[in-house]
Amino acid sequence: GESVGLHLPTLSVQEGDNSIINCAYSNSASDYFIWYKQESGKGPQFIIDIRSNMDKRQGQRVTVLLNKTVKHLSLQIAATQPGDSAVYFCAEITYNTDKLIFGTGTRLQVFP
């Protein structure tokens, strides 16, 4: 069945370093992917998205990479800051459906 999962449940990085959060998906028909950030006690917040016809997309301090060959998605955060500490989710939408399906999440901890 369709599933979206993450390799690392917890990622600890030092402030100023770059962070890489990974996500594997199993549905090759998925055509749109989104990364969300969720801080404690809050709802998820949109970070960046990417369509399946792209390999890379950049935002402010964030980059999403999509490798459709191995069905892998990653979120890179440059110069990680304490405010980046949160749980990060990847989510996918499959073409011709309207279901936004979330993965299980990775907790990013930033230490000084």
Contact positions vs other proteins (CB under 8 A): 32, 34, 41-46, 49, 51, 89, 93-105
- Which residue's CB is nearer to other proteins, number 73 or number 105? 105
- Which residue's CB is nearer to other proteins, number 41 or number 83? 41
Cα 68 from Cα 55, distance rounded (Å): 8
Cα 9 from Cα 100, distance rounded (Å): 21
Q: Minimum distance between the CB of residue 81 and other proteins, rounded to whole angstroms?
A: 22
Q: Minimum distance between the CB of residue 63 and other proteins, rounded to whole angstroms?
A: 17
Q: Minimum distance between the CB of residue 36 and other proteins, rounded to whole angstroms?
A: 8
Per DSSP (E only), the strands in 45-99 are 45-51, 56-58, 62-67, 72-77, 86-94
User: Could you tell me if residue 25 is left (phi over 0), alpha (psi between -120 and 50 degrees) or otherwise beta?
Assistant: beta
Q: Minimum distance between the CB of residue 112 and other proteins, rounded to whole angstroms?
A: 25
Cα 54 from Cα 65, distance rounded (Å): 9
- Which residue's CB is nearer to other proteins, number 8 or number 79? 8
- Which residue's CB is nearer to other proteins, number 29 or number 79? 29
